[in-house]
Structure 1
């Protein structure tokens, strides 16, 4: 914690990690074996190290854990054997680098308290699942501002950092109270940086622990500097202690030394000097801020078209059903049919879309691990935003002090090349002026921190979340009409992401008109599963509040 004006503030050095659970675990029944483990390891269960090391015995003898305990005890008591740790080490060493099966058999569930930067840092891990504090739903108070630890001892810079951060939080709270949920307020909140606290509930298989540890190691070797947040360094340092406590330390220590990659991780914390595919494609397209379908390959065979028509026919039949129970049953059939179709013909379509999203909204998209993605470094994005706003700073500053929209209305297009300014915000002059001012002011201070010798990863705590990052989305058939895309067309989706998705839909429908019927929100299966339905479902079929309520009751009654 860092003390400022008599109060203590969270820093990026204050990460707290709680072990919420782990797998596998088998409580030891054999009293002699239990005593050995309690004396030597301080636990009374077999963990991943033991269960994976002896996995061949388990799968060969009908998963008989009593016999397994006897075998382990016999190995421990055999005077001709080496130390038990050496036995475990040699047993797991032969398979740890061979395939992903061992890395997924063990893992942990962690509760992490830190800064909101852990959202961008950890929730893009494909072999993982997580829940994190939502900045859309949780209001940050001035006393909760996160201070990067590097500012300790730099009193003038710290004072300026706090003033800038407090001002934007205060203004955000005022707008929320004054305008409620008026169009634009949610977007205005993207001007707030990731300098607020967050709690993360995350499930991490062993291979994903290795992913994090490997990224930190690689970052340490980078001669250009460090770009992975300090909190991920702290988390990586804790892994040996956690894995030792739960009986996974031998496998963990082996896995991080094996020169074989793990799973995909969508992250913005990259060295901006390294080549980046998403940024390259963005430049090829003139940094277009609208989504563009740039590459596609389709092979719609006779069998494909036949299955497509059969699935469409089932969807149409379902939309004519008004009996709630029958509608629910038929909607499940729609889902089963669509799943079978996309499973069978998934490779019949490949489509790549170049786009740009705010750092904030990319942070939502990255969690969809079924969608292959690419994103540029946040450091190149923030540098571009700094360069794009700097020439207009004095004009923006005057517009803010005089509350004069005319001074900035003709530069919005220029600013929008690097900053997200959605149409709802443009229509609210009382919002867009301070939105641009506080964005530019924070970016100016980011540059000031860099010029004062601070690392970019530390300066990021003052970078607004509305900066544009270049992205690539690689759709296959399943993600386009079944898993990811229908969710992004739903009205409950974050407004910026939803607007971007509908623009994508137009471009994609031109390329693959055969799929137009299925390029719709998730309620295309026949009914809406959300709390309140919207125009999307009423545009597809006859629908009212009674049917909405009754079909959801029919759906949930199956679980009683």
Structure 2
């Protein structure tokens, strides 16, 4: 069993050359000014310090870099939720694990805690492996696992975000997150020292400006979500524009492409969801979807006070494996609390929390995510999507249509345009082809 810090790596895949001079010249150009290369070299610290401190964030948000990051599942859950970033991640829906892949966090040090951790991690894997051998899909089996397995991917982010993330340390954040964030920011410090110094100076003297994002490793006292009923807010102009587009593009896929753009800002649906951590990790990949999520520590606390069947995802595909699936989750949660009793910090113990436990989320759906073929509903209603998210999307769609019947037949899977973009079709597209 390897320590997580032995598995952490940050490898530069792309970093723009001479970026400081390029950006500085562009900034001077906005004022109609020019400098010689020598003058510019001497002026770089002043240009970046003054501009960044005054809120001219474009100087550090425009340049981007791409890195390959390796760590545990934890970094995926945290970093891919950060706005204005892009990631291409290893898919645990398609790639399996081996027992030797198990990682252990730095904070678990004493012999008894290591024994508890190692025992439950191996037990989780045994159930995972048994389910897969029995024909259960990876997509389902992976939910018994915690965060203690490797994850890697390509990650693109701005210099600004790279530096901001290095200041995200909290007693609720797994140490791995800060380790990776610092390694990424060190790349900027080495390659663009003036930009780095200016941004750090701004953060330390004034304020961080990292845009809010969903974080399951947040302070549990500050992230409790009060779930309310679905709330639909529609401007009267929405219906007028919708009617006009229906006349302009009768039975035409152009209707679905145009509707989100023409009605942007005129419709918003706020919806509460309860879904597994695994499904949440899929959900947050919709970068245009506004998401609030409670802390994982709220989710853990709740499941101990209520019936476990209510707060774990139980896939119907489990069949004869339903009992060992549930028992594995119960054992994992018991081991989590045993680690806490041993003095292990929650941010280290949470690596063995199964991804099957449910968390609370609130999403805001705009016109794009409601209507566009590749928005939230377009993607998640597809039969090839994560089954849990598909079920949740279908349920949510029914609630929306019940509250606002006039939206019926407007929201649907991406094949509603009359064409299927998947490699193999489930046949659902045929019913839409009859309409078009």
Q: What RMSD in Å do the two structures reach over aligned CA positions?
A: 2.4
Among 105, 123, 127, the alignment partner of 1:171 is 127
Match of 1:73 in 2: 38
Among 27, 40, 50, the alignment partner of 1:56 is 27
Match of 2:157 in 1: 204
Deviation at 1:238, TM superposition (A): 2.3
2:236 is the alignment partner of 1:300: yes
2:76 is the alignment partner of 1:119: yes
- Once residues 419 and 256 of structure 2 are traced to their aligned partners in structure 1, the CA distance between those partners, rounded to angstroms, is 15
- Once residues 418 and 474 of structure 1 are traced to their aligned partners in structure 2, the CA distance between those partners, rounded to angstroms, is 23
Match of 1:380 in 2: 298
- Once residues 316 and 135 of structure 2 are traced to their aligned partners in structure 1, the CA distance between those partners, rounded to angstroms, is 17
- Once residues 259 and 93 of structure 1 are traced to their aligned partners in structure 2, the CA distance between those partners, rounded to angstroms, is 14
Deviation string 1:34-77 (CA, Å, 9 cap, x unpaired) is: xxxxxxxxxxxx22x3222222344577xxxxx97x7122455x
Contiguous gaps of at least 5 residues in structure 1: 1-7, 26-45, 62-66, 77-83, 220-225, 286-291, 316-330, 389-413, 544-560
- Once residues 140 and 415 of structure 2 are traced to their aligned partners in structure 1, the CA distance between those partners, rounded to angstroms, is 26
- Once residues 486 and 340 of structure 1 are traced to their aligned partners in structure 2, the CA distance between those partners, rounded to angstroms, is 14
Match of 2:418 in 1: 526
| Matched position secondary structure for 2:236 | coil
Normalised by the length of structure 1, the TM-score is 0.72
- Once residues 162 and 260 of structure 1 are traced to their aligned partners in structure 2, the CA distance between those partners, rounded to angstroms, is 38
Deviation at 1:266, TM superposition (A): 1.7
Deviation string 1:510-545 (CA, Å, 9 cap, x unpaired) is: 2232222221101112200110111320221269xx
Structure 2 vs 1, CA of residues 159 and 104 (structure 1 numbering), >3 Å: closer, same or farther? same
Deviation at 1:479, TM superposition (A): 1.5
Bigger helix fraction: 1
Structure 2 vs 1, CA of residues 165 and 472 (structure 1 numbering), >3 Å: closer, same or farther? same
- Once residues 282 and 5 of structure 2 are traced to their aligned partners in structure 1, the CA distance between those partners, rounded to angstroms, is 22
Structure 2 vs 1, CA of residues 467 and 496 (structure 1 numbering), >3 Å: closer, same or farther? same
| Matched position secondary structure for 1:214 | coil
Contiguous gaps of at least 5 residues in structure 2: none
Tell me, yes or no, if the aligned pair for 2:146 and 2:354 is still in contact at 8 Å.
yes
2:247 is the alignment partner of 1:310: yes
Match of 2:86 in 1: 129
Match of 1:417 in 2: 310
Tell me, yes or no, if the aligned pair for 1:240 and 1:252 is still in contact at 8 Å.
no
Match of 2:166 in 1: 213
Match of 2:221 in 1: 273
- Once residues 376 and 127 of structure 2 are traced to their aligned partners in structure 1, the CA distance between those partners, rounded to angstroms, is 35
How many pairs does the alignment contain?
Answer: 428
Structure 2 vs 1, CA of residues 359 and 251 (structure 1 numbering), >3 Å: closer, same or farther? same
Tell me, yes or no, if the aligned pair for 1:21 and 1:109 is still in contact at 8 Å.
yes
| Matched position secondary structure for 1:518 | coil
Answer with 1 or 2: which has the greater Rg. 1
Deviation at 1:132, TM superposition (A): 1.6
- Once residues 40 and 61 of structure 2 are traced to their aligned partners in structure 1, the CA distance between those partners, rounded to angstroms, is 26
2:13 is the alignment partner of 1:20: yes
Structure 2 vs 1, CA of residues 531 and 312 (structure 1 numbering), >3 Å: closer, same or farther? same
- Once residues 149 and 536 of structure 1 are traced to their aligned partners in structure 2, the CA distance between those partners, rounded to angstroms, is 49
Match of 1:229 in 2: 174
Match of 2:96 in 1: 139
Match of 1:454 in 2: 344
Higher alpha-carbon deviation: 159-168 or 440-449: 159-168
Tell me, yes or no, if the aligned pair for 2:166 and 2:185 is still in contact at 8 Å.
no
| Matched position secondary structure for 2:303 | helix
Deviation string 1:336-389 (CA, Å, 9 cap, x unpaired) is: x5444322321211111011110111011112111111000011101222333x
- Once residues 37 and 394 of structure 2 are traced to their aligned partners in structure 1, the CA distance between those partners, rounded to angstroms, is 59
Structure 2 vs 1, CA of residues 373 and 75 (structure 1 numbering), >3 Å: closer, same or farther? closer
Deviation at 1:160, TM superposition (A): 3.0
Normalised by the length of structure 2, the TM-score is 0.91
Tell me, yes or no, if the aligned pair for 1:386 and 1:444 is still in contact at 8 Å.
no
Deviation string 1:158-184 (CA, Å, 9 cap, x unpaired) is: 223222222221232222122254xxx
2:191 is the alignment partner of 1:246: yes
- Once residues 349 and 100 of structure 1 are traced to their aligned partners in structure 2, the CA distance between those partners, rounded to angstroms, is 30
2:436 is the alignment partner of 1:500: no
Match of 1:327 in 2: none
Structure 2 vs 1, CA of residues 14 and 314 (structure 1 numbering), >3 Å: closer, same or farther? same
- Once residues 504 and 471 of structure 1 are traced to their aligned partners in structure 2, the CA distance between those partners, rounded to angstroms, is 13
- Once residues 216 and 338 of structure 2 are traced to their aligned partners in structure 1, the CA distance between those partners, rounded to angstroms, is 22
Match of 1:344 in 2: 262
Tell me, yes or no, if the aligned pair for 1:243 and 1:252 is still in contact at 8 Å.
no
2:428 is the alignment partner of 1:536: yes
Match of 1:28 in 2: none
Match of 2:212 in 1: 264
